[in-house]
Structure 1
Amino acid sequence: MTLLFRYLFRNNLQVILPTLAVGTGLYLLSDLFDRLDDILEAGVPGNVAIWYFVAKTPLIISQILPAVFLLAALIQLCLMSRDRELMALQAGGVSFGAIARFFVVYGLLWAVLQLGFSQVLGVAGERESARIWQEQVRGRTPGTRDLTNVWFTDDNHVIHLEVVTPALRKGQGFAAYGLAADGIHIDTVIRAKAFTGTAGTWKLQDVEVFSTRDFGHAKLPEMSIAIGQDPQDFAVIDPGADPQRLPLWQLGDAVEKLRTAGSNVEGLRTAWHMKLAYAASLVVMGLLAVAMVTWRDNIYLATGLALVFTFLFYTMFTIGSTLGQKGIVSPPIAAWGADILVGVVASARLLLVLRPRSLR
């Protein structure tokens, strides 16, 4: 670790940690005012209410970290410019390129920290706060959300579920259409009034089996059928569920299972890429901070511009997420588009500043 790296690292920590604390406090205060009436009306005990906000804190930190990183980097660089430290560094042969490389490496470290923090503590905290809100404030029993009209494929079956409760792995209205060897024609139809299932085996109740080859028909009180799909995996396609509440590795596993089952996973793939792209945005914010200081080093102007750029970045990020969820744009482009655009603009500015200038 070079002397310059240690110096910039120490200075940035002195700015980013207080900024992160203030940002988290303001976010929690805003959330408190927004939800206080509901909490008081529900008669939630004080210790439960406190735990609700404590559980939300890791996710809040991971959400505001890119904006805080940009603001802290700009404040640090503007203070260094005001104290003539940047001029001294350039006089000593340290260019903005070296400073930009530091923020790329430093941003990468924070990106890894943000990703791990958000996918472990952030996801667990979000689940816990959501549970408290649903059970203690809304008074809803967990695991009762139903999905209707679910279609998927499994091996040589096309399967339709009228109603399924993913959390309980059961439902009503099961129909499986067995395909012939040509993969086009249907040779068997299995219907059941109710079902329960795990990955590998589903148990059907009140079953009817039809054969299109010999027009056979049989009724059975119960029957087992080999289906690789786990009903619990359908929770991630619940319109009321948030894929962000799944850790990155679980979301990726669910995407593969549902893709194999023939389900549309564009929205889930977008969410998976968004998690990585959001963490990588810290690197982009570092580049943007250095690029902005090469243009204007006034700390008040820089602070205002940081807020404007943060708003624009989150807007692009949200638009990309929406386009990816709807299948209008491919998930990688939808998720990484904002990072790529801002990174290219910031890099172009730095290259313009760093390019050799001919003497006239």
Structure 2
Amino acid sequence: MKILDRYLAMAVIAGTLITLAALLPLLGIFILADEMDNMGTNAYGFSAALLYVTLSLPRYAYQLFPIATLIGALVGLGMLASRSELVAMRAAGVSIGRIVLGALAGGLVLAIAALLLGEGLAPLTDQRALALRTSAQSGQDIQITEHGFWARDDNAFINVRQVLPDARLRDIVILELEGTRLITATHAREAHYESDRWILKDISRSHIGEDSVRAEHLARDRWQSLIDPALLKVMVVEPHSLPIWGLWRYLRFLDESEQDSGPYQVAFWGKLVHPILVLAMIFISIPVLLGSARSTGLGIKIFAGILIGIAFYLINRTFTYLALLYGLDPALAAFFPPAMFVLIALWILRRVG
């Protein structure tokens, strides 16, 4: 049975990889075409736009993963069905439950891959893509490193460890120079934009002279900067693209400051459910295949899978909007659509069995 499980799992994994390989370049072409309206702004040309699109693809791959898994499972297992291999398995005494478990083994590998992609690679490349596009379009020198966001502001160098989704800054270091000599080093716990200037909070500042250093601590101070808050806003990744730990940390901040956290609660629970969605989509694909394994062509099965994927997307988005508009529990909004589809798949499997 281990050989059979591996065979089914590899069919699912191969089908999903083929689907992603077909969908991502097509999606990249559409995104690049959409970016053409912005080309020609300062240094933002075709090569910069192409690099931006390339760096953005991991995020789109993560978002497409559940639908790609559904279509990939239909492709991989559908090839087995078209060669009557699934029928032969059932005739040899392999139960539908065993076929489902074998396919889910491949789904588990894909779920782990999606988790690594969404929590590791995608946030990093997406942030770099936004920094690249923003720097090219604005003409300002912007860098993102493991030490945060760096920018030059006239005679000062600014390092921001965290740019929050509402363009608030946290953990800010401002180094002011006179020629090549450092004259002031400032650290602020937080900053926000107000009345055409930045307001720094909880400030530690050192004034560096020729032969002495004077330190001071301020609760609040103004900072006249050339950095436009709109520039920072476009650098902030959307809630659904933040890693789970980033969403959790920002949710704590919103709760402490008594701000509305609805969109981020929905995004947080959606990220938690995402790996489960990958498994649910494989589970949903089995009834489509076994319901008419010999009488229906593979193309029809794939088309049915695409329709199911569209239906799932629409229902999922509907519950997301319900959670935001009417205060529906974000956890319920995230878990209900996949649970409903899995229950329907179970009912169909019982009839097929």
TM-score (norm 2): 0.72
Partner residue, 2:191? 170
Deviation string, structure 1 residues 103-157 (Cα, Å, up to 9, x no partner): 22322221121022112111111112222233323668979xxxxxxxxxxxxxx
Pairs aligned (count): 288
Deviation at 1:82? 2.0
* CA distance, structure 1, for counterparts of residue 194 and residue 303 of structure 2: 57
Evaluate the alpha carbon distance shift between residue 164 and residue 43 of structure 1 in structure 2; reply closer, same or farther with a 3 A threshold.
closer
Q: Which moved more, 1:247-256 or 1:133-142?
A: 133-142
Deviation at 1:258? 2.2
* CA distance, structure 1, for counterparts of residue 263 and residue 69 of structure 2: 28
Q: Is the 8 A contact 2:8 2:106 kept in 1?
A: no
Partner residue, 1:196? 200
- 3-state SS of paired residue (1:326): helix
Deviation string, structure 1 residues 31-73 (Cα, Å, up to 9, x no partner): 1122123224555245433321221121122121211111121
Partner residue, 1:115? 115
Evaluate the alpha carbon distance shift between residue 13 and residue 242 of structure 1 in structure 2; reply closer, same or farther with a 3 A threshold.
closer
Q: Is the 8 A contact 2:269 2:331 kept in 1?
A: yes
Structure 2's unaligned 5+ residue stretches are: 143-148, 150-165, 173-189, 205-216, 221-229
Partner residue, 2:137? 137
Evaluate the alpha carbon distance shift between residue 107 and residue 172 of structure 1 in structure 2; reply closer, same or farther with a 3 A threshold.
closer
Residue 242 (structure 1) aligned with residue 245 (structure 2): no
Evaluate the alpha carbon distance shift between residue 70 and residue 43 of structure 1 in structure 2; reply closer, same or farther with a 3 A threshold.
same
Q: Is the 8 A contact 1:271 1:321 kept in 2?
A: no
Letter in 1 for 2:315: M
Alignment of 1:283-322 (within 5 A): 283-297=279-293, 298=296, 299-322=298-321
Letter in 2 for 1:89: M
Partner residue, 1:5? 5
Q: Among the aligned pairs, what percent are the same residue? A: 20
Superposed CA RMSD in Å reads 3.3
Deviation at 1:27? 0.7
Evaluate the alpha carbon distance shift between residue 172 and residue 87 of structure 1 in structure 2; reply closer, same or farther with a 3 A threshold.
closer
Greater gyration radius: 1
Deviation string, structure 1 residues 204-260 (Cα, Å, up to 9, x no partner): xxxxxxxxxxxxxxxxxx9539xxxxxxxxx9xx89862124211121122123223
Deviation at 1:351? 2.5
Structure 1's unaligned 5+ residue stretches are: 144-162, 175-192, 204-221, 226-234, 355-360
Q: Is the 8 A contact 2:9 2:104 kept in 1?
A: no
Residue among 242, 263, 267 paired with 1:267: 263
Partner residue, 2:162? none
Letter in 2 for 1:259: D
Partner residue, 1:331? 330
Residue 224 (structure 1) aligned with residue 222 (structure 2): no
Q: Which moved more, 1:25-34 or 1:344-353?
A: 344-353
